[in-house]
Structure 1
Amino acid sequence: MAELTHFNESGRARMVDVGTKATTERVAVAQAKVFMEPATLQAIQRGTIAKGDVLAVAQVAGVMGAKRTPDLIPMCHPLLLTSVDISFKEAPQPNADGQCSITVTATVKTTGQTGVEMEAMTAVSVAALTMYDMCKAIDKRMSFGEICLLSKSGGKSGTFMRERS
């Protein structure tokens, strides 16, 4: 198991010193699933949600979330992000609970001394929250989860790829 780096010798929280780390291209991909009633997905697809184009707004919110990560997560370094891409994949077939879903995927890139995993995870979380906010008036059962890091590359720890289940 890896050593926890966000604690100093006294056991207190600290921001890790990345000053001596190599500058490399770093990429992280994360996802979240938003679960909803079939009628909600249809309203999103038809563009009839009263607050506007749900996926367009969620896409912008995800980008903003990635950019604001160090304002939300105390030990994250402010990073110069070189790219944030948010995409959506609809699953119109209801699951066992009778709900459809939209998977939000964020790909975040930088060239720097620390990774962008938290920025990718924040991006999908903020996009999912935005989708909920825009649709809650018609679907109180909406939920989201399965938020996870799918992959990351760059840096000393190298490449990580989540095994698909």
Structure 2
Amino acid sequence: MRLLHKYHEFLIYSIFGFLASLINIVSFNLFHNHWHLTMLWANTIAWLLANLFSFFANKAVVFKASGHHGWRFIKEIILFLSQRIVALLLDNVLMWLGVNWLRWSNLIVKTGDQLIVGIVNYLSTRAIFLHENGPLLRRMEHRRQTPPKKSTTKKTCHSK
């Protein structure tokens, strides 16, 4: 029972991560294999749909972050998606290697890469929504509120 309590957050994240991966795989299949978008476009659109689902699920259910509105909400979603861009790049590289270099089925590669990408996503998502890991959000807020510093040094012209 202690083990279940200790890893509860990760287990819930895994369930929603599985659902996000399913959205990603099904969307990719639809866009690439049925609507014949290029692999990169299909993968990127599938990534966006899966990550929008993931943002709202992680915020509300997994990490139980309060429903901030306005600027804080915009910061969270921008930070969430920007950190996940690394996972998109990893996803695209794995897809390219698996499909173009190894000549494997795109759905098999997509399914396998979602396991690797899921681990990367968990680590970055946890850093965004947990309160003890919020320094980045605070720095972003401070930068937004602090006007840029004006240079106080005077430029002098020396002639020879």
With structure 2 as the length reference, what TM-score do the two structures score?
0.29
Give 1 or 2: higher helix fraction. 2
- Name which one, 1 or 2, has greater alpha-carbon Rg: 2
Higher relative contact order (CA 8 A, sep 6+): 1
Give 1 or 2: higher strand fraction. 1
